[in-house]
Amino acid sequence: MFVVTADQVDSRTGPDIVAGALDDLNHRYRDRLELPVDRNAGDEIQALTADAGTALDLVLELTRRGQWSVGLGAGSVRTPLPAETREASGDAFIAAREAVTRAKRAPTRFAANAVVAPQPAEDAEALVNLLLSIRESRSPAGWELYDLVTSGLTQAEAGARLGITPQSASDRARAGALRTEFAAIGPLTRLLKSLDDAQLRTDTA
């Protein structure tokens, strides 16, 4: 199981963005979560999912605009699950707490952790951070193309929507490393699945 814990950056000086984030994430990911994304400790949110792809999507979404420090924890979760995420407990929550604390000091504002088998979490953190470093250098124009392509349009269709030539769309995709990111999603998802499996194998050994 995966827990994503995100703490709002500079919450003491900026507006509270937790409520808006909860509405957005619960609308977009509700069918992929074990429980609704919940507010925890004032300016912090927590999400619980059994799906590695969803965990990665949440990390990428939350780190995109630099408004959150994001910790990913993997491990067991106590069952039966309560009605709200903030009432749940287990190794995954402990791991996410340690991870978000480290994330506040990380250049990418991301960290991953696992209580039982931490090495796979260290591997996942290193490779996710590589992807996050690529995303940090993407221009607004690159993100504009990215959003259209990830909505289901082809690159050519996205370029037409933006009023640019296919060559310009290709140049923009290359500058934004879109193909590099898209190629990395599958391997990173499998890596996170392996991280989760490692916790289960160790727990039952």
- Taking CA atoms, 104 is separated from 9, 44, 48, 76, 101, in Å, by 8, 12, 20, 24, 6
CA separation for the pair 37, 21 (Å, rounded): 9
The pLDDT confidence band at residue 12, using thresholds 50, 70 and 90, is confident
- pTM, full prediction: 0.94
Q: Average pLDDT, stretch 120-147?
A: 97
Average pLDDT of the residues of the chain: 95
Does residue 28 carry a pLDDT above 70? yes
CA separation for the pair 114, 118 (Å, rounded): 5
The pLDDT confidence band at residue 202, using thresholds 50, 70 and 90, is low
The domain limits of the chain are 2-117
Q: Which of 88, 84, 81 is nearest to 37 (CA)?
A: 84
pLDDT digits 0-9 by tens, 75-113:
999 999 999 999 999 999 999 999 999 999 999 999 999
Residue 82 sits at φ, ψ, to 5 deg, of -75, 180
Which position has the higher pLDDT, 15 or 156?
Answer: 156
What is the CATH code of the structural domain delimited by 2-117? 3.30.70.1230
CA separation for the pair 70, 59 (Å, rounded): 7
Q: Average pLDDT, stretch 176-185?
A: 98
